[in-house]
Amino acid sequence: MLTRRAFLRAGTAGGVAIAAFTNESLARVARAAERTQTRAAADVASDETYWREIQQAFTLDRTIINLNNGGCCPSPRVVHEAFKRYLDISNQAPVYHMWQVLEPNIESVRRKLAAEFGCDPEEMAITRNASEALQIAQLGIDLKPGDEVVTTNQDYGRMLDTWDQRARRDGITVTKISFPVPPKTQGELADRLLAAVTPRTKVLHFCHITNLTGQIFPVRQIADAARAKGIITVVDGAHAFAHFPFKLADLGCDYYGTSLHKWLLAPIGTGFLYVRRERIESHWPLTPAAAARAKDIRKFEEIGTHPAANHNAIAEALSFHEGIGAERKAARLRYLRNRWADRLKENPRFRIHTNLAPEHSCAIGTVQTLGVPTGKVASELWDKWRIIATPIVHAEYEGLRVTPNVYTTLDEIDVFTDAMLEIAPATK
């Protein structure tokens, strides 16, 4: 029997007992996966016994229904406990424990992340979020007055602001194309972007999956066509990594930035930037680095003093993600999305702005309640049912962005759907 004294001794000796407790969620995920390993992902998507094990791995406030997992997500208990453990270690003597003990372990995280993404570790920089990763890409490319960047008017606002600042400061041109919501085919998306290309176009910047409606773009088709014209591709993958299965080989882009506190469920303040190897040396880092580091991907991580706990706990998040499996996770997310969307899509009081076909979308869906301002819908959901969802108001459409995650229960989805039906005005 583990006595209190032995428990404390184990904790002081390196956290062995604490790790045994906090790693239980990983063990439960592994046992649940073992029981279903011979079954297809689509079959497991509706297995509530399996997903109950996943739900129990989180410490949540179940008095609210969080359907805004597109912003940032709660971490599983094993990830959050690791994060706190690393903070405690750092605080013992930060100049030693943080820099000499924990910080070097970022290389283990880099190797694991690169393997999951499918790139060389020397092409991956660990960042604090997708915005930082993408701004490193956007601001470090040499562009001259008159050079053109082609993007869309549905890309993330901060990224569009970054290009607009370059236009004001450097005299470049930024062209923002529109596209249908939802589009009928992915080829239509590629055609619209590529049709906007001119002889002055140097960069194509677009989302892997949009944050507004969850539309997935045909990245490889666009990137291949751009490369044939000598055009650089910057892909915003903020919502894509660990959301649905893919590898770098499926993309073919030059730069890729993502957040890890979304679908990977890593601590808040984590992301990565992929840079194609041949572009690293000529690309300027956002925070200046020594000339000797010109070819080193780590020059993009030069941000001064920063915590090691955030990025080290990514390792536990990867283990949790791998324990579920990317295919199984995506199937469940689509199952949850379809549970509410299927009830609302045939109702004339609603308009779905997301193409629900698997190649077009995954967890994210955006729905408009006709006759009711979206802001009012969001307020009523919170005030009456304590449901969090994201109001999207774009110049060309509006709607409520709904993003469940693996910890979301069917009951929570049904409460949301019933609430939407109550809010919507009756048809005359």
Q: Is 404 exposed, middle or buried (0-12, 13-18, 19+ CB in 10 A)?
A: buried
CATH architecture of 98-318: 3-Layer(aba) Sandwich (3.40)
Of 28-32, 61-65, 193-197, where does mean pLDDT reach its minimum?
Answer: 28-32
Distances from the Cα of 298 to the Cαs of 124, 282, 285, in angstroms? 8, 14, 10
Tokens linked to 148: 């053109």
pLDDT tens, position by position, 33-70:
777 778 999 999 999 999 999 999 999 999 999 999 98
List of residues 6+ apart from 376 with CB closer than 8 A: none
Position 8 scores a pLDDT of: 33
Position 427 scores a pLDDT of: 56
Residue 22 binned pLDDT confidence (cut-offs 50, 70, 90): low
Query: Residue 382's closest CA among 374, 58, 46?
Result: 374
- The amino acid present at 41, given as its one-letter code, is A
Residue 425 binned pLDDT confidence (cut-offs 50, 70, 90): confident
Position 327 scores a pLDDT of: 97
pLDDT tens, position by position, 217-261:
999 999 999 999 999 999 999 999 999 999 999 999 999 999 999
pLDDT tens, position by position, 115-133:
999 999 999 999 999 999 9
Residue 18 has pLDDT above 60, yes or no: no
